[in-house]
Amino acid sequence: MDFHTLKFEDGKLSILDQTLLPGEERYIELDNIQDVYDAIKTLKLRGAPAIGVGAAYGAVIAALNAPKDSKEAFFEYFYNCCDFIASSRPTAVNLFWAIRRMKQKADSMKAMDIEHIIEGLEAEARLIEKEDEEINYKIGENMLGLLKDGDTVLTHCNAGALATSRYGTALSVFYLAKQKGINLKVYADETRPLGQGARLTAWELSRSGIDVTLICDNMAAMVMSQGKINAVIVGCDRIAANGDTANKIGTLGLSVLAKHYGIPLYIAAPTPSIDMECKSGKDIPIEERDALEVRTIKGIQVAPENIKVYNPAFDVTPADNITAIVTEKGIVYPPFEINLKKLS
């Protein structure tokens, strides 16, 4: 890949601003907590795994900027900044998982001097990034076992390299297939209202030489009815203990269609996205975003200025509509409330 989603060097987090794709490829540097928060909140950095890695590096930036005159002041600043980053978005469990892990790492080093604490925090964040890359590769390998040469897959939103440290979750299978000479084709939903499928998935797959066809969201039923789709593969932002899965708005509708047409629906899920403390999808908080995302496209008004808008960013696919959850540790089949527990 000739692009990177995020990179931490010299105390700064460099990210590819995904709000500008595909028209402009611009990297921005984040060196303070407000910028990290804003990047996650405004979707410059997005995708549950990438948010988790970015949040971990945000914690390092917090430590670098913290007062050094006393440990008490250092830790008070550090913990407050971690909580601030965690408040940027409510649905992706990776965000809270990464922040919790960075806090625990800081707690384990309280006896050390501040310089070594900062070094330890950066090492932990880099480990989180490395683990994410390894997780994604293994998910791709496990997913390949569910497909065959010549299959065509429908995907929704962007769960690719742009949403992770590398490879992606749902899209990792296509990168690995290309490496191994296996022919897979992709249909990508545009994913309204922000067009992550059109702007991001289509961009990264076509740039990598993968056969991808873009369709509008309301065309999914048509291509399924025509027998063009062998499987649906999507990512996730949180999976409840019973297998209910939160993903980008529109995934629920795809799951209903796939079930109707007898097409398997696979969830690509790094285990940090599985929240065993969340009993069901009813307990997953769903982020509702600004009405302007629906009323406008790239600043151009496409609906009446004051029209009421309902804009949930995610929906919950019930476990009954999911064929399997594919993790780095293996493939989980129903009953999910029993088999998800076996991963730990």
Range 63-75 burial, b when 16+ CB lie within 10 A, else e = bbebeeeebeebb
Contact between residue 41 and residue 30 where contact means Cβ atoms under 8 Å apart: no
Contact between residue 52 and residue 95 where contact means Cβ atoms under 8 Å apart: yes
Contact between residue 109 and residue 117 where contact means Cβ atoms under 8 Å apart: yes
Active site residues: 237
Return all residues near 337 (Cβ < 8 A) that are at least 6 apart.
Answer: 241, 242, 243, 319
> How would you classify the pairing of strands 245-248 and 314-317?
antiparallel
Range 280-296 burial, b when 16+ CB lie within 10 A, else e = ebeebebeebebeebbe
Q: How many other CB atoms are found less than 10 A from the CB of residue 341?
A: 12
Give the C-alpha separation, 189 to 218, whole Å: 9
Q: How many other CB atoms are found less than 10 A from the CB of residue 238?
A: 28
Contact between residue 111 and residue 289 where contact means Cβ atoms under 8 Å apart: no
